[in-house]
Structure 1
């Protein structure tokens, strides 16, 4: 079983890390496509899920460990944690940033209602993240746990592959202006920082998946994250002082990442204590 899982994880990882570059090549062949909505981006988005479907259907992985069951009984608190994790960390970071004078929220009052923007994005992100979490937690994390790896390896490997899948997105598909709004660095540096962030975020995502045995809390948390922090920063509702983005950005700041790691380790502490009781 371990040999089969290792082989399939290698195949999966290759497909994931190659998918975006295959999309880049496709876009170079097919000219005059709408920016931000190309066939290459579609290929990048769909290939990881296609790889999972093929491996589960034809390569011996099966369907028992998908985490598709909600498992609501006894897990309500974890669903609530998934719903409020990103908002609580974001509010904490904003408060600290404002107190230190590193974050300016004066634009917030003059722009369209952020609540409306958030709710308008949430449903679409929820649908998208059903498919994403079936890949990152329902397959990748599930298989890594089955290999009985140390927890820090599960966090690191799953976060690195998750982040590595995004590299073509940051280097090619996403406009430089969007990246610069988050961190004023070149694309390669941004991609490296993003991978580190996703490894940090993986601690909480992995632990919520493991403590509940379901991908649905992760779908909720991922959807709230996408609908909350990206428009907050990219659309200009808040302004981070130049040079402080590394420290306090709600997307890529060091403080933000440490808070997510801390939250994930708290869930791990509870999970391991339950396993011993």
Structure 2
């Protein structure tokens, strides 16, 4: 491994350690302040710290900004932008339709207000996911790609770190009586398959913005549906019917979409020169 790769690996390790510790620091702050609900100072530390660490590493520790992925690159990628915006809403409708038809889910009488609630959630979700995605897809993923690892290995590594990053505040966003012993492994699998989908679109567009919009739509449509109780999933079927990452139906549909994007990119790579981040000569196929 050359000097440049050694520096990149060092910085990736620093970023990962900060990302995995900042949420627990945030939880400690919240517990000391006696305030642990949504929107706390600790949550702000948790959300913002990875992006701030990325800025430090890129600005003062030699990583640079050329593979940041901030350019939208809409030209030639319109389909991928549309897909990114619509995938999670479509998946949610499919899962709710299947599960309600089978009697696994009850639809709330207040469901007519759902789209209004989604609309109110879009802007906060966009802001939150600019911070989140420009850390994970704007830093960790491209830096690991640049080290020459196979892209599937990178997807899994990013997914594992991203999934564990959620642990300190998982209880705020999870409404379940299921044991964490069975819940967490399934949730981690769901995050990894999402990472494959996000990562393949990142590689094809060389832009973080599709991931921002996909994550925004997913949070707005899925979190609103569950946390505001517009649908009530029967406890014995929650492992199947939840449209969030831990639901088996959601995992299967997201994995199929990720596999399709993986094969789509592979076909594109075989037809033309490999799509690369500007500072890298080639990314692994």
Q: What is the TM-score of this pair, normalised by structure 2?
A: 0.88
Q: Shift in Å at residue 8 of structure 1? A: 0.8
Q: Shift in Å at residue 191 of structure 1? A: 4.1
Question: What CA distance in whole angstroms lies between the structure 2 residues aligned with 1:110 and 1:215?
Answer: 35
Question: What CA distance in whole angstroms lies between the structure 1 residues aligned with 2:122 and 2:87?
Answer: 15
Query: Which position in structure 1 is the counterpart of 2:227?
Result: 234
Q: How far does the alpha carbon of each residue in 1:158-210 deviate from its partner, in whole angstroms, 9 at most, with x for none?
A: 11111111111125xx2xxx52x3x3224565444332221121111111111
Question: What CA distance in whole angstroms lies between the structure 2 residues aligned with 1:115 and 1:7?
Answer: 45
Query: Which position in structure 1 is the counterpart of 2:200?
Result: 207
User: Contact 2:30/2:36 (CA < 8 Å) preserved in 1?
Assistant: no
Q: How far does the alpha carbon of each residue in 1:8-38 deviate from its partner, in whole angstroms, 9 at most, with x for none?
A: 110110000011111223234x434363333
Q: Shift in Å at residue 121 of structure 1? A: 0.6
Q: What is the TM-score of this pair, normalised by structure 1?
A: 0.91
Corresponding residue pairs, total: 267
User: Contact 2:96/2:105 (CA < 8 Å) preserved in 1?
Assistant: yes
> RMSD over aligned Cα, in angstroms?
1.7
Consecutive unaligned residues in structure 1, runs of 5 or more: none
Question: What CA distance in whole angstroms lies between the structure 2 residues aligned with 1:141 and 1:274?
Answer: 20
Given candidates 247, 251, 261, the residue that maps to 1:257 is 251
Q: How far does the alpha carbon of each residue in 1:218-264 deviate from its partner, in whole angstroms, 9 at most, with x for none?
A: 11100001100011112111122221111121112111111101101
Question: What CA distance in whole angstroms lies between the structure 2 residues aligned with 1:187 and 1:39?
Answer: 26
Verify: 1:18 aligned to 2:21, yes or no.
Answer: yes
What stretches of structure 1 move > 6 A for 4+ residues in a row?
Answer: none
Question: What CA distance in whole angstroms lies between the structure 2 residues aligned with 1:36 and 1:207?
Answer: 31
Change (3 A) 1:189 1:39: farther
